[in-house]
Amino acid sequence: MGCGVLRPETINWPERYHPDRTSVHVCDELDIAAPAESVWAWLIRAPAWPDWYPNSHNVRIKGEPPDRLALGTQFVWRTFGVSIRSTVQEFVPRERLAWDAFGVGVDAYHAWLITPAEGGCHVLTEETQYGWAARLGSLLFPSRMSHFHQIWLARLAVMAQTGSPLSQAGQDVDAG
């Protein structure tokens, strides 16, 4: 059974990035035993990703707020050894997050869908890509992106199960 087959929720793909139009498409999902609010709080704090997701490095948000994503936020980072420039294209608190990603040989769109479920929430993440580096990586390492997205989901689950990053810091919880 494919990713998301039994779930009616889908990614809101911009036409250019729809999986039917791209050379690379990866879909991964996980049921997480934590509330959507906690998952969201960890996911939008992009500068902290390198602390718990090993395939992200040097995440820096341009502008305000400097510590979390919001609609239109621009950020730079490294992943899969490539320097990436991203802008948040979709931002529905505790439900939907998506950004574009541009780097040498890569033009991508990465989306997240968080759906409340019994005992926590279901998290779906999908990415589509264009570009010579994206195609080459997909040919040489066909399951690498999915492998790292599964790690991202698993680590996100661990972090979300500890509560919100703000509640751990003794601050009021503001999940977006």
- Can you tell me whether residue 51 is helix, strand or coil? helix
Per-residue pLDDT of 88-115, as tens digits, reads: 999 999 999 999 999 998 999 999 999 9
Residue 134 has pLDDT above 90, yes or no: no
Question: Residue 131 sits in a domain of what CATH number?
Answer: 3.30.530.20
Q: Is position 9 within any domain?
A: no
Query: Can you give the pLDDT at residue 173?
Result: 44
Domain count, the chain: 1
**Span 52-78, average pLDDT:** 95
Structural domain boundaries enclosing 132 = 22-165
Residue 158 has pLDDT above 90, yes or no: yes
Q: For residues 97 and 65, which has the higher predicted lDDT (pLDDT)?
A: 97
Query: Can you give the pLDDT at residue 131?
Result: 84
Q: Is position 10 within any domain?
A: no
- Can you tell me whether residue 23 is helix, strand or coil? coil
Burial level of 118, CB count in 10 A (0-12/13-18/19+)? Answer: exposed
Query: Can you give the pLDDT at residue 170?
Result: 43
Q: Is position 171 within any domain?
A: no
65 cis-preceded (ω within 30 degrees of 0): yes
Q: Is position 4 within any domain?
A: no
Read off the pTM: 0.89
Closest CA to 112 of 134, 129, 127, 130: 127
Q: For residues 26 and 1, which has the higher predicted lDDT (pLDDT)?
A: 26
Q: Is position 172 within any domain?
A: no
